[in-house]
Amino acid sequence: MKTKFFLGLIFLFFLPIFFAFTLGQIPEAPASSPTLENTGVSLRQLAEQRGIQIGAAVNTYPLKSDRTYQQLLAREFNVVVPENAMKFELVHPQQDRFNFQEMDEIIAFAETHQMEFRHHPLVWDEQLPAWLVRGDFSRAELMDILKKHIQTIVKRYRGKVKTIDVVNEGVARDGTLRDTLWLRGIGPEYIDLSFIWAHEADPEAKLFFNEFSAEEMGAKSNAVYDLVQGLQQRGVPIHGVGLQMHKALNNQPKIEEIAQNVARLGELGLEVQITEMDIAIPEVAGADFSQQLQEQAKIYGDSVKMCVAAKNCTAIIFWGFSDRYTWMTSLIGQGGNPLIFDKFFRPKPAYTAVKEALKQ
């Protein structure tokens, strides 16, 4: 009996560790504890000298447990974005209950280190809780749910948050509105209403529409342009567009087209921010990894130069900052080495390229 009892305790002890590894949250431990390299002037200092924000999405696991991660984040960046803590299923797990613990922890870190916290996202069609997806709600009920969700979050952090991604990924690749729970249940006006409700809750916050694969000229970026221009014409409060820029060596950004897109959004009086940038390195047999790192660095450098040169490009935010913690590992099973620091927190050529771009 005692043997079964102790075996049970051992199982309970290792179970969460097993799941953490399965989800890719705990990377392979380094041979020795990483020590931050002295990189001289930080990205944060250079960006602030130019009047540009530079930020990173943060994972709450290392933010609470990894001292090197904390130090590097505070040293190099002046904006933090919750990678998952603000997703609907985490912050609003039950219809009558919100959970702000992880968001509060990230905001506390940001305040301690004089960093800005960016809301991301208020409205999205992914990572929704079962009670919402499976619920048989009327249009009026769904509108009440969405309004309560938006205004409860925004009011709680009013005065602490300056920028909000209100609607995330609302446009399909062909330029039509993306088929979402919100579109089906409320109609296309859910976008207008989301911005209006967010503005009511905090009239001082800057409100952004955030989209993927809309960086370059084409059907999707044209649709985003038309959408935000329509919001303006209807008097809906909107201040900017977020361009995500999840790219790869085999899917490189067309910098000239992105610059053209940023410029035309600027003509509408809108800010543009690069909001989720990472550049994946695909696994190719026989590839020269050092050459791939240089190629990755050039993409990072050219992208930052483009933003620096555009008067209305006001922030560059990476989707993480160390290959040790990247969504690519946890969601698609491959690391991709997409970020500017490696898994041991050592600066990669991409880091140097970003720094040089900020100096120009």
Strand ranges (DSSP E) for the chain?
53-58, 79-82, 116-119, 161-168, 206-211, 240-243, 246-248, 271-280, 313-318
Q: Where do we find the tokens 């990072």? A: 300
Q: Is 356 a catalytic residue?
A: no
Catalytic residue among 83, 102, 169, 216: 169
Q: Is 276 a catalytic residue?
A: yes
C-alpha distances (whole Å) from 161 to each of 42, 118, 206, 241 are 24, 6, 9, 17
Is the peptide bond between 188 and the residue preceding it cis, with omega within 30 degrees of 0?
Answer: no
Q: Which two tokens stand for residue 322?
A: 């160390």
Find residue 241's DSSP bridge partners. Answer: 209, 272
User: What angle do helix axes 349-359 and 289-309 make, rounded to 10 degrees?
Assistant: 20
CA-nearest of 312, 307, 310 to 277 is 307
Q: Do residues 88 and 129 lie in contact, with contact meaning Cβ atoms separated by under 8 Å?
A: yes
φ and ψ at residue 31, rounded to 5 degrees: -65, -30
CA-nearest of 205, 181, 203 to 88 is 181
Distance CA 74, CA 85 (A): 19
Q: What is the dihedral of CA 187, 189, 193, 195, to 10 degrees?
A: 120
Cite the active site residues: 169, 276
